[in-house]
């Protein structure tokens, strides 16, 4: 842990930060805390320590944190240091660097984006800012579409309302993907250099940045709508933007795709930085989709489509047999979309081979090739789909920055509601493109006289049934996380519940193609799997449970897989309690 600074030192550090802060609100915060701490208020001093004993670490997820004053918070000083550090990194990589900048509807997002643009131009980097608040997928698309060196998206995605963040993409050889090592470390080093050597008020600025034209959004909409193909049966569907920025773009895409206007969740459709109707603006959280389900019941909808606030994730709701609604898990959506994509690739291959044999004397191009990929904590279902169609499959580390970089990627997903259905257009998860594919799938099934529930049963009949669950152990002391992982390594379990452990893969020193990571993957004798890892963004240890079945009918397979996961969950909870 970072050593705790003495009172006088922490007050001096806070005062130096305040004196370079261009934001009146956060300056006033520090004025109050400094005055109270100097007067002996222990709570104020503790606040200063919390804000200044360390700083938000710039990593492969960029920056993300609470909007307040201090080096361990998101604010204009920290963003200025990040922008200047990123500019220095880009200038060191080649001549004429450029960056495109996007922002969502959270507090200070436009301010942080404008600061970044001005500081980039002041440093000698060409800067283009998107014309207004837009989804993260549009920014990720713009990096490739505009051929720039980098992209910055100011967003905290589905974090709590008081948070904001700073996500970085790289162009060129990185093809518009999010940063990974060693680039993240190189950028972080430049940011720390700026923080140590420069007052952000003295950094050169310029308002000579460019504003992107509407053609960027138009082209994203055109390419995304085209994923749907010819229209089939009409589908009545509900859409929510979860108080985020997805609606304008998603509506245009849905209409151009031939789906017609969705029924909207009116209270959640416009950007609102307070997220007033949800406790946590994440479609995975209990209750977050209640308004969507109520709206769907009122209009007798067939489907609910939900984007998270920056629209890079997709959640899907479907009717329950008992008349209610349920949210499909990320693994269920990922597997169904994977099946659709695998069929598409398989048909393309067959057509290519047929053309090769039907055109005498003509040398055709190689059959279409593509890889299906998922993060290692996602369900094994996609690997089963790939095997069935004799397609290549790849596991990646957790995070879409890894999924998007798989060579030859045709489709990729991660269980946390992230899907990439069009890697030729974008190299990041895209909740709007994925929604198009899912709505089109439901429409195609309807045109064939089939329901989505029947399609889910057909999946279990074809590939087996797969069930998943997740357990999170939240800690108050971050030191508990390595303690839990160390105990599991020192005393590895021989049984989980009533099932013997067959094998444990420890990624600590690297495993197979993976670099060193704090991950344990536990295989059980019945074929089920448990993965344990610390969360990358929250004070949690996360455990992923997976089981499958190929015995009996489709319904029996589903029941057996779910029973295995339920038993696995009970065993893991006992194991973690003992740890």
Do residues 554 and 436 share a domain?
no
Residue 227 within any structural domain of the chain: no
Closest CA to 422 of 168, 150, 229: 229
CATH number, position 62:
3.40.120.10
**pLDDT surpasses 60 at 1:** no
The 10s digit of each residue's pLDDT in 292-330 is 999 999 999 999 999 999 999 999 999 998 889 999 999
Do residues 372 and 469 share a domain?
no
Instruction: Work out the mean pLDDT of the chain and round it to a whole number.
Output: 93
**Cα R_g (the chain), whole angstroms:** 25
Contact 18, 10 (CB under 8 A): no
Contact 315, 306 (CB under 8 A): yes
Catalytic residue among 71, 149, 157, 548: 157
Final residue in a domain of this structure, among 463, 478, 501:
463
Closest CA to 80 of 117, 29, 40, 35: 117
Contact 405, 398 (CB under 8 A): no
Do residues 424 and 311 share a domain?
yes
Res 5: pLDDT: 59
Residue with tokens 């998603």: 250
Question: Looking at residues 429-435, what average pLDDT do you find?
Answer: 98
Distance (Å, rounded) from C-alpha 446 to C-alpha 233? 6
Residue with tokens 């996500």: 167
Distance (Å, rounded) from C-alpha 364 to C-alpha 237? 42
Q: Residue 182, exposed/middle/buried by CB under 10 A (0-12, 13-18, 19+)?
A: exposed
Res 579: pLDDT: 63
Position 111 confidence tier, pLDDT thresholds 50, 70, 90: very high
Q: How many domains does the chain have?
A: 4
Res 354: pLDDT: 54
CATH number, position 525:
3.30.310.50
Which of 58-62, 328-332, 413-417 has the lowest average pLDDT?
58-62
Question: Catalytic site residue 232?
Answer: no
Distance (Å, rounded) from C-alpha 166 to C-alpha 74? 9
Instruction: Tell me the helix, strand and coil percentages in the chain, rounded to 5.
Output: 40, 20, 35
Question: Looking at residues 128-145, what average pLDDT do you find?
Answer: 98
Measure Cα distances from 390 to 345, 364, 370, 385 in Å: 11, 21, 11, 9
Residue with tokens 């045109």: 447
The 10s digit of each residue's pLDDT in 174-200 is 999 999 999 999 999 999 999 999 999
Question: Looking at residues 519-536, what average pLDDT do you find?
Answer: 93
Res 365: pLDDT: 44
**pLDDT surpasses 70 at 363:** no
Helix (H) or strand (E) holding 457: helix 452-463
Contact 80, 115 (CB under 8 A): yes
Do residues 281 and 417 share a domain?
yes
Do residues 451 and 471 share a domain?
no
The 10s digit of each residue's pLDDT in 220-248 is 999 999 999 888 899 999 999 999 999 99
Whole domain around residue 203: which residue ranges? 57-212
Res 4: pLDDT: 59
3-state DSSP call for residue 261? Answer: coil
Residue 295 phi, psi dihedral angles, 5° rounding: -65, -40
Measure Cα distances from 40 to 4, 27, 37, 51, 79 in Å: 17, 20, 5, 18, 31
Q: What residues form DSSP beta bridges with 486?
A: none
3-state DSSP call for residue 484? Answer: helix
Closest CA to 87 of 95, 77, 98: 98
The 10s digit of each residue's pLDDT in 463-478 is 999 999 999 888 777 7
Res 435: pLDDT: 98
Final residue in a domain of this structure, among 424, 442, 463:
463
Task: Name the pTM for this structure.
Answer: 0.94
Do residues 240 and 281 share a domain?
yes
DSSP string, 498-528: TEEEEEEEE-TT-BTTBPP-S-EEEEETTS-
Instruction: Give the dihedral sign, CA 234/236/241/242.
Output: negative
Distance (Å, rounded) from C-alpha 491 to C-alpha 14? 44
Do residues 68 and 41 share a domain?
no
**pLDDT surpasses 50 at 169:** yes
Do residues 458 and 474 share a domain?
no
Bigger pLDDT: 511 vs 121 = 121
Residue 226 within any structural domain of the chain: no
Helix (H) or strand (E) holding 86: helix 76-91
Q: Residue 478, exposed/middle/buried by CB under 10 A (0-12, 13-18, 19+)?
A: exposed
Question: Looking at residues 435-457, what average pLDDT do you find?
Answer: 97
Position 362 confidence tier, pLDDT thresholds 50, 70, 90: very low
Do residues 98 and 196 share a domain?
yes
Residue 426 within any structural domain of the chain: yes
**pLDDT surpasses 90 at 350:** no
């Amino acid at each position: 842990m970072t050593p705790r600074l003495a009172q006088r030192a922490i007050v001096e550090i806070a005062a130096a930060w305040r004196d370079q802060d261009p934001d009146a609100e956060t300056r006033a915060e520090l004025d109050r805390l400094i005055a109270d701490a100097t007067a002996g208020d222990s709570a104020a001093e503790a606040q200063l320590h919390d804000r200044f004993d360390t700083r938000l670490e710039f990593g492969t997820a960029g920056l993300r944190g609470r909007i307040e004053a201090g080096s361990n918070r998101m604010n204009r000083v920290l963003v200025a240091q990040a922008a200047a550090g990123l500019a220095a990194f880009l200038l060191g990589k080649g001549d004429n660097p450029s960056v495109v900048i996007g922002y969502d509807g959270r507090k200070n997002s436009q301010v942080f984006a404008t600061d970044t643009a001005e500081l980039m131009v002041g440093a000698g980097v060409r800067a283009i800012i998107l014309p207004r608040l837009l989804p993260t997928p549009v920014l990720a698309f713009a990096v490739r579409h505009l051929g720039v060196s980098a992209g910055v998206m100011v967003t905290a995605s589905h974090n709590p309302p008081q948070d904001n963040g700073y996500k970085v993409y790289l162009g060129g050889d990185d093809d518009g993907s999010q940063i990974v090592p060693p680039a993240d470390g190189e950028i972080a080093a430049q940011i720390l250099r700026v923080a140590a050597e420069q007052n952000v008020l003295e950094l050169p600025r310029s308002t000579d940045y460019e504003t992107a034209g509407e053609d960027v959004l138009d082209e994203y909409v055109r390419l995304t709508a085209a994923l749907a193909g010819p229209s089939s049966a009409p589908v009545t569907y509900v859409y929510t933007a979860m108080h985020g920025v997805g609606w304008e773009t998603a509506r245009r895409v849905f209409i151009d795709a031939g789906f017609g206007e969705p029924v909207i969740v009116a209270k959640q459709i416009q950007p609102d930085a307070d997220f007033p109707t949800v406790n946590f603006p994440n479609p995975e959280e209990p209750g977050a989709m209640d308004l969507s389900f109520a709206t769907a019941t009122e209009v007798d909808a067939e489907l609910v489509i939900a984007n998270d606030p920056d629209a890079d994730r997709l959640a899907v709701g479907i009717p329950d047999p008992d008349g209610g609604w349920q949210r499909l898990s990320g693994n269920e959506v990922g597997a169904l979309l994977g099946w659709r994509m695998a069929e598409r690739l398989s048909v393309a291959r067959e057509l290519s081979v047929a053309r090769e044999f039907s055109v005498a004397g003509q040398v055709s191009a190689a059959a279409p090739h593509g890889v299906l990929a998922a993060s290692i904590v996602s369900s094994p279902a996609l690997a089963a789909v790939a095997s069935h169609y004799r397609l290549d499959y790849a596991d990646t580390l957790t995070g879409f920055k890894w999924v998007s970089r798989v060579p030859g990627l045709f489709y990729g997903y991660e269980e946390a509601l992230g899907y990439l259905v069009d890697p030729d257009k974008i190299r990041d998860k895209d909740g709007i493109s994925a929604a198009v594919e899912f709505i089109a799938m439901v429409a195609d099934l309807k045109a064939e006289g089939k329901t989505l529930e029947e399609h889910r049963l057909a999946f279990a009949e074809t590939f087996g049934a797969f069930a998943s669950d997740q357990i999170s152990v939240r800690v108050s002391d971050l030191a508990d996380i390595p303690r839990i992982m160390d105990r599991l390594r020192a005393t590895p379990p021989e049984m989980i519940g009533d099932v013997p452990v067959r094998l444990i893969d420890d990624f600590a020193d690297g495993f197979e193609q993976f670099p060193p990571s704090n991950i344990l993957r536990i295989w059980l004798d019945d074929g089920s799997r448990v993965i344990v890892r610390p969360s990358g963004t929250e004070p949690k240890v996360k455990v992923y449970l997976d089981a499958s079945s190929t015995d009996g009918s489709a319904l029996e397979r589903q029941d057996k897989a779910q029973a295995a996961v339920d038993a696995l969950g009970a065993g893991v909870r006992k194991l973690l309690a003992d740890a």
